[in-house]
A = this chain, B = another copy of it.
Amino acid sequence: MTDLLPYVAGVPLVDHHCHGLVRTDLDRTGFEELMTEADTVSPLGTTLFDSLLGHAIRRWCAPVLDLPAHTTPDDYLARRAELGATEVNRRFLATTGTTDFLVDGGFRPELLTDANELGTLAGARAHDIVRLELLAENVLRAGTTAAGFAADCAEALAKHTTAVGCKSIAAYRVGLRLAGARPDDAEVHAAAGRWLSDVDRSGAVRLADPVLHRFLVWLAVEHRLPVQFHVGYGDADVNLAECDPLLLTDLLRATAPSGVPILLLHNYPFHRNAGYLAQVFPHVFVDVGLATHNAGFRGGALIAEALEVTPFGKFLFSSDAFALAEHYHLGTLLFRRGLSDFLRTAIEADTMTSTDAAHVTDLIGHANARRAYRLDS
């Protein structure tokens, strides 16, 4: 890895998928539990600092907290506690060069800063992404009926007047092996009825029904709101075998005529499959967020693989930062380094000019996201 290409170092970013930050200080276990997708530190393994991500934190985050590069985990966490969560969050956000954050506030909202607070901390614009399953669960909690569920969801969605997109976590609940067609009213009615009965019986409000996930996606499409999908890599709750983006093919084929963007998040280790979808479906966009910082210095290899067949007009930046401000710093830095390495290789192979590379940087860094989410409208 060499120096960043100047236009990559300087490009303003739109982070099209990210989350809030913890406001409280963390002990070592608490920190490690938020570092990777592992729920906790295994007694059978070693510290999670023994990973490419752990090394990246010690290398790239330590200096932001006035520590030498490669400091020890304990020294790092001591300094972090000394500065306090708010200062730490502010410092890391200040490094990102991000002008717009598209914030998915639907996971553990009680723990994390919301979009407004994040934007204020960062001195940047923050936009809301509506978590579709949470919307439906809130509709249910507020009181609905099997017959009224669809209209109540539509009404709830219409209230999100400032939202720039929606997100589906069908991957976490039922997997991505979804049918394509919009479920008709009778199907939605029946599925909502089943869900209401289940909730009555179990007391647990957790949507996990292929018809209803699909209905919500179509609802967003009908509201002309871009739809993000969690795809691929996630925590142990996911059944990754059912999270290959190719399983969405029928739904992508069915939604293509709408012209509403579908944005496939993360995608690792299926990022090449995602790239194929981005090439052949006019409304599909992809990223390799989350993996970019988890894979440390290997992030560039992932970007290069993802861009083999993805048109440059269909690839986006996201950090998928969650809870730890380090994720914002690393998600952004390792993305810039990975993209820079990719472009430099292309330039050195004389298959791209510097002008081309700067244009590609603009597309991926912000222009594609601005266009897909109509951020300037």
Chain A residues within CB distance 8 Å of chain B: 1, 36-40, 42-48, 50-52, 55-56, 59-60, 69-70, 233, 235-236, 239-241, 244, 246-247, 249-250, 253, 256, 259, 261, 268-269, 272-273, 275-277, 279-283, 285, 291, 294-298, 301-302, 304-305, 307-314, 345-346, 348-353, 356, 359-360, 363, 368, 371-372
Q: Contacts A38-B279, A44-B282 known; list 18 others, CB within 8 Å.
A: A37-B276, A42-B283, A42-B313, A42-B314, A43-B259, A44-B259, A44-B372, A45-B311, A46-B313, A50-B363, A51-B312, A70-B353, A233-B276, A239-B250, A241-B249, A268-B309, A297-B346, A302-B308
Q: Indicate if the CB atoms of A283 and B44 lie closer than 8 Å.
A: yes
Q: Write the nearest CB–CB distance from A192 to chain B, whole angstroms.
A: 28
Q: Indicate if the CB atoms of B36 and A311 lie closer than 8 Å.
A: yes
| Given A241-B246, A352-B55, also A48-B311 (CB < 8 A) | yes
Q: Write the nearest CB–CB distance from A12 to chain B, whole angstroms.
A: 18
The 4 closest A-B pairs by CB, nearest first: A42-B282, A46-B313, A45-B313, A269-B272
* Residues in chain B near residue A363, CB distance under 8 A: 46, 50
> Complex: how many Å from CA A50 to CA B309?
11
This chain: copies in complex:
3
> Complex: how many Å from CA A253 to CA B236?
8
* Residues in chain B near residue A353, CB distance under 8 A: 70
Q: Write the nearest CB–CB distance from A350 to chain B, whole angstroms.
A: 7
> Complex: how many Å from CA A272 to CA B241?
12
> Complex: how many Å from CA A94 to CA B356?
29
List the B residue with the shortest CB-CB distance to A311. B51
* Residues in chain B near residue A45, CB distance under 8 A: 282, 311, 313-314, 368
Q: Write the nearest CB–CB distance from A243 to chain B, whole angstroms.
A: 9
> Complex: how many Å from CA A261 to CA B42?
11
> Complex: how many Å from CA A282 to CA B46?
10
Q: Write the nearest CB–CB distance from A327 to chain B, whole angstroms.
A: 14
Q: What are 29 of the A-B contact pairs (CB < 8 Å)?
A: A1-B348, A1-B349, A36-B279, A37-B279, A38-B282, A40-B282, A42-B283, A42-B314, A45-B314, A50-B359, A51-B279, A52-B308, A52-B309, A52-B346, A55-B346, A55-B356, A59-B350, A59-B351, A236-B280, A239-B246, A240-B246, A241-B246, A269-B272, A269-B275, A294-B308, A296-B346, A297-B345, A297-B351, A302-B308
* Residues in chain B near residue A43, CB distance under 8 A: 259, 282
> Complex: how many Å from CA A326 to CA B190?
54
Set B37, B249, B371: member contacting A280, Cβ < 8 A: B37
Interface centre among A52, A272, A295, A359 (most CB of B within 10 A): A52
Set B52, B268, B313: member contacting A307, Cβ < 8 A: B52
Q: Write the nearest CB–CB distance from A311 to chain B, whole angstroms.
A: 5
Q: Write the nearest CB–CB distance from A360 to chain B, whole angstroms.
A: 7
Set B38, B50, B283: member contacting A360, Cβ < 8 A: B50
> Complex: how many Å from CA A308 to CA B250?
31
> Complex: how many Å from CA A256 to CA B39?
12
* Residues in chain B near residue A273, CB distance under 8 A: 240, 269
> Complex: how many Å from CA A243 to CA B290?
26
Q: Indicate if the CB atoms of B308 and A291 lie closer than 8 Å.
A: yes
Q: Indicate if the CB atoms of B236 and A240 lie closer than 8 Å.
A: no
* Residues in chain B near residue A279, CB distance under 8 A: 36-38, 51, 294
* Residues in chain B near residue A244, CB distance under 8 A: 241
* Residues in chain B near residue A313, CB distance under 8 A: 42, 45-47, 50
